[in-house]
A and B are shown apart, each in its own frame.
Chain A
Amino acid sequence: MIKITVVLLNIRFYFAFVSILGIGVFLPNISVAQIDTAKANQLQEVKITEYKNSRINLSPTPVQILIGSELKRLNSLSVADAIRYFAGVQLKDYGGIGGLKTINVRSMGSNHTAVFYDGVQLGNAQNGQVDLGKFSLDNLEEIAVYVGQKPELLMPARGFAAASALYLKTAQPIFSSGKKYGFGASFKTGSFGLINPNLSYKQKISNKISFLVDVSYLESNGKYRFRYRELAYDTTIIRNNSDVKSARVEATLFGLLPDSSKWNIKLYNYNSARGLPGAIVSNRFTFTQRQWDNNSFVQASYQNKKSARYNFMFNTKYAYSFMHYLDPEFKIQNGCLDNRYTETEWYISAVNLYKISNIWELSLATDYSLQRLNANLYDFAYPSRNTGLVAFASALNLNRLIIQGNILATLIAEQVKNGDQSANRQEYTPSLMASWQPLQTKDFRIRSFYKSIFRMPTFNDLYYTFIGNTKLKPEYTNQYDLGFTYGHTSNGKHLAYLSIQADAYYNLVKDKIVAIPGNNLGRWTMVNLDRVQIKGFETNIQTVWDLAAQLKLKANANYTYEQAIDISATAFRYGDQIPYIPVHSGSARFGIDYKNLVFNYSYIYTGERYSQKANIAANYVKPWYTHDLAVGVNFVCQQTRFFFNAEINNVFNQYYDVVLNYPMPGRNYRFTLSTNF
């Protein structure tokens, strides 16, 4: 016990130290060989709690984190399912396993969240959205969502360049002492004909080099029942054309150089074929549209030794995405609509961090990317976009006060082969954030941030046949946030951990890019028209209770209140809540760990919304709320450790739409068996 305490103290010190220095915090790997499993688990839990607490509590921007062990027990298949548990986040979900799922943070719009995969952004210049349903949780170690930005200096300039950021971090190869390799396997099955095996293999090539390969396959027929019961009709329909087959292969090589610098190279490929289930409208319940995706990238990172006064980080990436869309119902002269889009991206980033003194740091991050889009469309623009980002940042880490600020310069030049091109752009945007400890206790901090940033119009906004508008300006957001964090860990007490985050915020979205009626009836054109004012309050409470020797309870809750209103000068419905944003939303999770059993209950609530601009009865969308349950057991068979988890989702079989006319599944089941050796 003494030994553990010492270790804990060290960890605490380590976290406090590195966090205060504003350097990235990495989960330290502690050899668990000498301690027995229960204690190891306990230690692991404590470590995780401490780790999360230090990050949440010190962050001047609101951050919410889900870590490996939490992700495992969550009733979730993909990243999209997991982010529903975050406060201030709306998931736009078209239903089923294969339906498009995008994230919207604090109602600024899904184009305003940058998604990072192992530190490098997943770009999409075509429509600016990342489908989170395509990322499984199998190989993820951490999901974190930051409002504003990650409060760090040593990060690529793209990390400064979005109104909010979602970081997905894959598992690192960690070896038990003496072992040179490791296997991981899991198999999921359940409703919708789900078959989802996942395999991973890691190996130590030398003391300095190791690799990890992770492969998964997913298949689902996507069929589920949903029921419409209104007025005098009661109709049950089976969702059709919602099938999906996908495969993901990921291989990463990790290395250490003699001077302790770190590097890694990752290869990624995702391939899928799916049906596109359309909007369920009167008399039309079956669909035939198909989509194929092939996304690949290779990315490499290098970071010099951490403790140096001068830190350097380098990232580069090449990404290739191919999308094929087929609509057999759109009949043209020699066949049907058959669109193919190819997007490529070259990316390179270098970051320099210099510690002037113990309390003062400066950094300069420079990114360059080239994005190109090809399509087999008539008179297509074939746009390419050169983006240069330069972020100059500085942080002051005083005893009780952390202040960080930066200026980001964005330089954009585009070329097209046909038609007009969008003008070159130069934008300068600042952020400023602070976290202050007003009292003697380190547990309570007040924080605040301001950030001004924009999103560029996407290639679709600018160049899509008929609707595109090359005159579009960037869509700006201004965010103001004031809140507090309270985080207290007391090992040995019943209430082992209590964390409260609460923030009030005010956002303004200017020049919002929307579609308006075009120059001929039935056509739309993109314009910078709308203005949205968002006033919100969100809170997130997390607790861990050590109730008895092997009985632990985790209870988390979050709640968001949000007024997101249309204040466009041209608004026909000035002051109405914008579509799909509930005033009230929240979630609650309870987890119980008892010996080798884990139990999980979660509740998600989304209040009433409107599906269109006018807040009238015809556009009213009912609230929805789901209850999910899961029971898991850890067991050992033939000296191998297994985990079996059984889930019931949407226990009360509520039929609901997140997006109007895209029905969500009712009660459904999922079973997971996983192992590591």
Chain B
Amino acid sequence: MTIYSLYIYDRHCQCVFYHDWQRVKKARPANEGVMLSHVTPSTEMTSPRNTLTMSSGIIIASSESVPPTPAIAPPVSSANLTSLPFDEEAKLVYGVILSLRNMTKKLSGREETFVNYRTSTYKLHHYETISGYKFVMFTDPNTATDTIRFVMRQIYTNPFIEFVVRNPLIDMDSRENGIDNDHFRTAVDKMVKNLAIYA
């Protein structure tokens, strides 16, 4: 049992947050200028921004335009050669979710959303908030559906509301910046690592 990665999309179909944990096959660095700034496949806990010049060292929100730092090149291995650039991957994930959502709605004939799908090596879970934010989690194929749905709800009700929605410095509908900030990332990271299924 394990958890691979978490994507959060806003209602403009943009990926605003990404974090990965035990992901084996890393995405290649995104093409320049396609992703929102502060949404990177490198999930080192060190912020991509220059924290040394700031007084506190912790970023509450970043509205100033900092050029997105080029992601650290992952070590070259045979597994990396076939992986997609991060921006394309993020788009594909969104595309799959959107298509499956439409298909589910059509098949059931009522307002019904798609919950998850499973392949031989992973399971993708989807949770959508009323405000249109979509939480997508990649986990082990054997993870129970209800557990992850609960976790995603928890991420939304706790760190997301607390550090993103209630944060006056974050421009929620910004089309330039992700919703990244250190408090949120740390809280999510801690929450996931404390789960029983994370091991």
A binds B: no
A interface residues with partner B (beta carbon < 8 Å): none
